[in-house]
Structure formats: structure tokens, C-alpha cells
Amino acid sequence: MTSKDGAALVAAAGRFRALTLYIDSPDTVRAARDMTRATLSDWHLDRLAEDAQLVVSELVGNVVTHAVPDDCLSQPGGARRVDVLYKMWPKYLFLGVVDEDSTPPDLPMGGLVCPELADDFSESVLPDTGRGLLIVQRLADSVWWSRAEPGGKTVWARFDLDGDSSDGSP
């Protein structure tokens, strides 16, 4: 097997990376953004780095601000954590943010304002909450969530890699 064949097998098999952060750290969101940029650079997906960093930043920021650990996961005095998952499959990049709160995220159902008219509205008429998830939905090709066992959830964002000239090889 040649090194080119080996690189093609790695690209076809996909890639995975995970990061565990503790919410009490003042650098949690910045660390998630930095890891996102580094991961996408390693995987030759630099063209997605800015959008992916913003998506991860918004999702991790929501955990820091809103997540309350489920009783089955919380421990008195225990550190709250968040996991950031990066999965690349031949045609997709998946970003997952795992928290310890099984409360469903308040994913916006479609646009609140027609994109063509968005510039005509001042910020005062836009909703006070949910803007981050609206941004995530605009940047990613798909957004959803899933429950974890025994508690918590994962919020997922998918970026389609169709037309990406990268083969994912180093």
C-alpha cells in the first residue's frame, strides 16, 4: 500500500477528535474556538474555520450560560463540564457540544425575519434570546439535538463538504 492509498483510507474512514472543558474556567469558550480552528486546520478544512468557530462558540456559550446539570449527573461541589466533538466523514463535518442538562435547546423554527429585510430592522425588534441558535442555524447546513444516557444532551451542527477540494489527507 502506498502512502497515497493510506491517506485515502484515512479520509474515507473519517476522523474524530474530542475536547473536554470545565465550565468554571474563564477560558472555556476561547479554548473551544481555538481547538476548532486547530482541528479544521489539521483536517485541511480551513475554509470552514470561521463559521465552525462561531458555531462552537455559540453552543459552548449556551452551555456556560444556561445548562444546569441533571440530578443524576450533578455532584455537590463537582465541576460542570462540556465536551466538544469533531467528526469528519467523507462528505460531512459534524460538530457536537455535549452538556449535562437534558433540557431541550430552544431551536428557532425558521427565520424570524426574512433575510432580505433583516437590514431594515433595528436590534430592538429582534428577540432577546435565541439569537445564538439562530446564527448556528444560518451557518450550519443542519442543526439538531439528541438526549444522552443517563442524562444530558448533545447539540449537533452539520456542515456539508460537497464540492470541498480537500480529500482530508495531511
pLDDT in tens, 61-99: 999 998 888 887 777 777 889 999 999 998 999 999 999
Do residues 79 and 99 touch, judged by C-beta distance below 8 A?
no
All three cell numbers of 66, joined, read 444556561
Among 66-70, 114-118, 133-137, 138-142, the least confident range: 114-118
> Taking the CB of residue 87, how many other CB atoms lie within 10 A of it?
16
Instruction: Report the pLDDT averaged over residues 18-33.
Output: 94
Select from 158, 3, 161 the least CA-distant residue to 90. Answer: 161
Q: State how far Cα 170 lies from the chain centre.
A: 23
Please report which residue ranges of the chain form alpha helices under DSSP H.
3-13, 28-42, 49-66, 131-139
